[in-house]
Structure 1
Amino acid sequence: MPIFDQAMLGMQFKHPEILWALFLLVIPILIHLFQLRRFTKTPFTNVAMLQKVVSESRKSNSLKKWLLLFTRLLLLAAIIIAFAQPFTSATTALQEKETVVYLDDSFSMQAKNNGISLLEKAVQDLIKNIDGDTEFSLFTNEKTFNNVRVTDIQNSLLSLPYSYKQLNLNEIDLKANSLFSQNNSSIKNLIVISDFQERLSDGNTDLDSTLVTHFVPMQPREIQNVSIDSVFVDDGLNEQAKLKVFLSGGNENNALPISLYNDEELIAKTAAKFKSNGDAEVAFTIPASEKLNGRLSIIDNALGYDNRFYFNINSKEKIKVLAISESDSDYLNRLFRGDEFDFQKYALNQLDYSNLDNKNVVILDNLATIPSSLQNILRTFKNDGGTLIIVPAINSNLSTYNTFLSSLSPTQFSEKITSNAQLTTITFDHPLYRNVFEQEVTNFQYPSVKEHFRIQTTLPKALSLEGGDSFLSGDDGLYVYTAPLALDNSNFINSPLIVPTFYNMAQSSLQTPKPYQTLGEVTTVDISAQIGNDDILEASKAGYEFIPLQQTFPNRVRLTFDQNPTEDGIFSILQNEQRLQNISFNYPRAESQLKYLDIGVLENVNTMDSVPELFEYLEAENNITAYWKWFVILALLLALIEVLIQKFVT
């Protein structure tokens, strides 16, 4: 029920100036009171017999005149009041009104009630109940219709697609305010039609008190929904790999069939058995070295968008790593010996500069000096998108290092510190370690260094020594250690921390696509391709093509996906209609958990059970009851009464 009471005003008049005519009623009163009658005397022989008749006649005549006077006064008053057009209304009925509707078209509105989705029900109720002459504004999570009538947008509403985006209450409030006018005297009605999932309350939930906010919650009949949440590919050690699939929202007593397709071919099928918390994990065996355009599918009667999941496995491109090293240690050989890397190592005096062509990562390890010719080539390499890792030597010529570093970044080595120091701080939110640790570790075995260089740089710290000095700083293709990694100076190469550190630095050089991406998140992918200045790469699937943002480097193109695509599926990256590789996108699963907001705790909100009930309430607020017809009828009745008095009162 509404929380706002409809206060009623008393009798009002559309033309109150006409009421001045009521003063004209004084004229017939004066005529009646001061009317002079002249009598003619007629002599009689005896008037005694007429005395009684004369007395009764005078009384009867006086009563008739008074009745006619009051009848005519009431008749004139009724006519005057009818022309003044009296009416009654609610206090808000006469104020100018503006209406803005937020219609939630997120995926959770796919849930059904009585066989029809919540979004379809909301659209039908809106079309049926909004007055065709009413001008209003409507917005969804992605679309906006400003100052329209329902007939203008009826077809658009009926064909409205679902969206993976979801505005929260604060964003709804801000968007609505941008659609209302700046008129402070008008009543601004904000209608929010949604299923009110909990994520709607993200951020500030305090609504603008100048708006009259109406909530219409749309609730499904069932609130259980099974979703395919994610997949993980475990390559294994043989020719077979395991595809692990994670689901949520199931019933412990029911097994749910799940199918695996390669393109349109069904290649495996199994059943997911859920735990008491509603989660399930299933595993498929797939070839480890074959390309796969995968699609997982289940049948669930709740939400439809999360019943399918796309992923793909492309042929892996090796990351080309070149080390220029004067170190006797083989730690780099051990780090980059996997199938993911193509590793080469040269001493400085044996280096052929042409070997730097097509490399993704270059490591300067334990060099005493950096020749100017090498500096020029490495500077070009870095500007072309390559990743550079610098590990100084104890006897490094800081002048050549600083000259080279300053050309890449505001970075300078300063003094050498000769004292033992432990590596005590990991920057867990640094891109190198963002997904390495399940939780922040504080009791790991600290590596140590005997000598290191102090550094002045704007590069973010990844690892720090006790006292705050940097041990490793870097980002965006430039990483600088401040201490040699030789065993006679540091035991870092024996620490488990070295593996994810170097691995992630190398991986950052070539943004290979993951098995799947999530729509709405910025995704960067490197594609090995040589294209001309006027050439572009396209992303395409059946019925949908777009051109992603792209940056060209020698031998590769970096693609960035942000606003596009807007649909899930497996997209092919094309160069002149030739497929280079595939990339998969899925809708985010935030809508899958059907958890609803308790809107009763929100203030300044009028909650209605349905859209028709809301518009009945708004219509009652706008209702004006006119009474002029009743006064016309009263005037006609009074005219009839006057005729009756004239005829029957003697």
Structure 2
Amino acid sequence: MQFKHPEILYFLFVLVIPILVHLFQLRRFKKEYFTNVRFLKEVSIQTRKSSQLKKWLLLCTRLLLLACLIFAFAQPFFNAKDTKNTGNEMIILLDNSFSMQAKGNRGELLKRAVQDLLENTSDNQRFSLLTNTEAFWDTDIRSIQKELQSLSYSATPFRLDFLLNKVEAKKQDVPKDIVIITDAVNQNTQSTDKLNDQNPTYCIIPKAENKNNASIDKVVINQHSDDFYEIKVDVSAYGDLQSEVPMAVYNGTNLVAKTVITFDNPKKSILFNLPRKDFHGYVALEDNSLNYDNTYYFSISKPEKSNVMAIGEADKNAFLSRIYTSDEFNYKSTVLTTLDYNTLDKQDAILLNELKDIPQALTTTLKAFYDKGGTIILIPAAETSVQNLTGFLGNFGISKIGPLQNTSRQVTKIAFNHPLYQTVFEKKTDNFQYPKVNTSFTVGGNSARILSYEDQSPFLSAVTNKIGTLYLFSAPINKANSNFQNSPLIVPTFYNMAQNNPKTGIAEFTIGDNQSMILDVILSKDEVVTVKNEKSDFIPTQQILNNKIKLSFGDYPEQSGNYAITKGNNSLKNISFNHARTESDLSLQNENIFNKYTKTDSIATVYNDIHSTRTASEAWKYFIIATLLFLLLELLIQKFVK
């Protein structure tokens, strides 16, 4: 026990006074004569004994009373259990990712956590609070009350290691109390590596009562006819969804189609037929769990013809005219000697069909065309030298080309998940009429394999810079060398390679993937295009490419929805944005990674724990109580002890 004012203990010498008073009474006694004291002798002896007992009791009581009073004024206390962390700064890390939309026993997890902070944090408590996207440094609860109440859900996942790095950069070498509020969905053990054992860490892990959830993952055009699109909506079920889930398709605000989903499998694909015209809307489902993944926005523009040019001998290009028909393509065939280089920039796809030599001028032009978002399809000729092929393909990141092999090889593997074939096959199949080749080159490097031989080497591969694509065949496909032209793969392969998705496909982007698109528009020097809807707008990063413009969206927009690309007051194109479905599976909660830290159920428990372990125990009040008790005891002795 220690004292805040130990100098007051000198007053304990005052205890000598009552001792002197009781031991040396200064009164003089008078003698009184009685006629007969014989009868008083026994009474006198008894009275003297009881009087001495009373005096000793009063002496002890008064000494203890004065001693307790002096101790109380000296303010005794006991040291706190945790004295080394008394000056720690409080850091609160609050998860506001989409998974915190889940409902617990008192409502949505994020809203309940915010309410807990508002109700149990005192006005004089200083702290720093960081969410997935925002930071409030050295503040108090009253200053950020409005911001917390309006805190929105973020598509940015809760990255504990990232937030801890951010805190350390701002509060380097400062002792801290870390409070983590998260549902621990999609968290791994690596995320806690940045936690310092020297900083006390408290974890509040709110739990969802219902972990069942349905999510719309993707919308693609499955096939189309002259009058209709058939769209495929991919849906995932997490947990055990027993009830039927309604789903509807809206073009703007107009209901187009409606159905009900029964999840007999975790993955379902729902088909809808839409009129083949401009579409700017969304597909939505209704469940009782997360909201962010219940709506998928997408836009389909009126189909425009893709411009395709084939460079090669006329007889070898003949099969292409049957694929690139005039109703969907502006197809042109030319030989290399009569090629007009000025027309290349106007194409969407350029096909090099068995050129014996690729000139350097054409290589330079095609590299610029690729960088601007164009599609190049290369079919090598048997007479092409490896050196010439290597020189051309090196510009696109493919540097490993082996010599021509005169060995018959059969294509045996299809990359069904590649965008080229995603809408071609309803399911994977092994019973297929695979093509074969008689001679072929060996292609190495990091290109994506689309069609492969038995030894897993590529027959058809691709490289991309996210806006442009180069498709490479490893063998000539003329009828003398291959039966590929007679294969069922020939039409969907070349058709899909030449299709320009911005012109004919679904215009839909995932927020945060930093995706880009090419738009046919001519801008003056100071002009910019804007992406906007009724609620928000932003200016994307844009690069002028002659008669086109490259738009990069970065992490924008912040909210999913249907948007329009505008130039001034003119709308150029409708596009849509969706959040990545990374938070949909609530069963991925991994709270075990916080087992070695202090887990609590509310912020109030955190404050109480810190206060109880770091606050000295005051003992003066107990001495005041003892003083009052001894005062009462003295009164009782005076009254009842004779």
Per the TM alignment, residue 356 of structure 1 is displaced from its structure 2 partner at its CA by 2.3
Per the TM alignment, residue 456 of structure 1 is displaced from its structure 2 partner at its CA by 7.9
| Partners of 1:385 and 1:553 within 8 A in 2 | no
Residues 1:83 and 2:70 are matched in the alignment = no
Q: CA-to-partner distance for each residue in 1:265-295, whole Å, 9 max, x for gaps? A: x24353415244587766544212x112223
Per the TM alignment, residue 568 of structure 1 is displaced from its structure 2 partner at its CA by 1.6
Q: Return the letter of the residue paired with 1:236.
A: H
Per the TM alignment, residue 52 of structure 1 is displaced from its structure 2 partner at its CA by 12
| Partners of 2:306 and 2:500 within 8 A in 1 | no
Residues 1:574 and 2:562 are matched in the alignment = no
Residues 1:261 and 2:250 are matched in the alignment = yes
| Partners of 1:292 and 1:314 within 8 A in 2 | yes
Q: Return the letter of the residue paired with 2:94.
A: L
Per the TM alignment, residue 537 of structure 1 is displaced from its structure 2 partner at its CA by 1.7
Give the corresponding residue for 1:46.
none
| CA shift in 2, pair 1:446/1:192, >3 Å | same
2-side partners of 1:452 and 1:515: how far apart?
37
Residues 1:217 and 2:209 are matched in the alignment = no
Per the TM alignment, residue 110 of structure 1 is displaced from its structure 2 partner at its CA by 3.7
Equivalent position SS for 2:506: coil
Equivalent position SS for 1:141: coil
Per the TM alignment, residue 154 of structure 1 is displaced from its structure 2 partner at its CA by 0.6
RMSD between aligned alpha carbons? 5.0
| Partners of 2:179 and 2:203 within 8 A in 1 | yes
Q: CA-to-partner distance for each residue in 1:341-375, whole Å, 9 max, x for gaps? A: 32211122343334324012222222223345545
| Partners of 1:552 and 1:558 within 8 A in 2 | yes
2-side partners of 1:432 and 1:296: how far apart?
24
Give the corresponding residue for 1:45.
none
| Partners of 1:260 and 1:267 within 8 A in 2 | yes
Give the corresponding residue for 2:110.
119
2-side partners of 1:108 and 1:283: how far apart?
28
Residues 1:240 and 2:228 are matched in the alignment = yes
In the TM superposition, 1:67-216 aligns within 5 A as 70=60, 73-75=63-65, 77-88=67-78, 91-92=81-82, 95-96=85-86, 97-112=88-103, 116-167=107-158, 182-183=173-174, 188-194=177-183, 196=184, 198-200=185-187, 208=195, 210=197, 211-216=200-205
2-side partners of 1:609 and 1:346: how far apart?
73
Q: CA-to-partner distance for each residue in 1:190-223, whole Å, 9 max, x for gaps? A: 24254x5x43458657784724323242444x55
Higher mean displacement: 344-353 or 489-498: 489-498
Q: Return the letter of the residue paired with 2:74.
A: A
Q: Return the letter of the residue paired with 2:173.
A: Q
| Partners of 1:260 and 1:296 within 8 A in 2 | yes
Q: Return the letter of the residue paired with 1:629.
A: K
| Partners of 1:387 and 1:509 within 8 A in 2 | no
In the TM superposition, 1:57-456 aligns within 5 A as 70=60, 73-75=63-65, 77-88=67-78, 91-92=81-82, 95-96=85-86, 97-112=88-103, 116-167=107-158, 182-183=173-174, 188-194=177-183, 196=184, 198-200=185-187, 208=195, 210=197, 211-220=200-209, 227-245=215-233, 258-264=247-253, 266-276=254-264, 283-288=271-276, 290-297=277-284, 302-326=289-313, 328-329=315-316, 330-337=318-325, 339-371=327-359, 374-375=362-363, 377-378=365-366, 380-382=368-370, 384-396=372-384, 411=399, 415-422=403-410, 447-453=435-441
Residues 1:15 and 2:4 are matched in the alignment = yes
Higher mean displacement: 622-631 or 319-328: 622-631
Equivalent position SS for 2:67: helix
1-side partners of 2:115 and 2:323: how far apart?
62
Q: Normalising by the residue count of structure 2, what TM-score does the alignment of the two structures yield?
A: 0.77
Q: Return the letter of the residue paired with 1:161.
A: S
Q: Normalising by the residue count of structure 1, what TM-score does the alignment of the two structures yield?
A: 0.77
2-side partners of 1:560 and 1:304: how far apart?
28
Higher mean displacement: 436-445 or 340-349: 436-445
| CA shift in 2, pair 1:203/1:349, >3 Å | same
Per the TM alignment, residue 320 of structure 1 is displaced from its structure 2 partner at its CA by 1.6
1-side partners of 2:445 and 2:263: how far apart?
51
| CA shift in 2, pair 1:307/1:500, >3 Å | same
| CA shift in 2, pair 1:189/1:621, >3 Å | farther
Per the TM alignment, residue 489 of structure 1 is displaced from its structure 2 partner at its CA by 2.6
| CA shift in 2, pair 1:452/1:275, >3 Å | closer
| Partners of 1:246 and 1:279 within 8 A in 2 | yes
Q: Return the letter of the residue paired with 1:391.
A: I
Gaps of 5+ in 1: 1-11, 43-48
| CA shift in 2, pair 1:532/1:170, >3 Å | same
Q: CA-to-partner distance for each residue in 1:135-158, whole Å, 9 max, x for gaps? A: 122222322222221101111111
Residues 1:549 and 2:545 are matched in the alignment = no
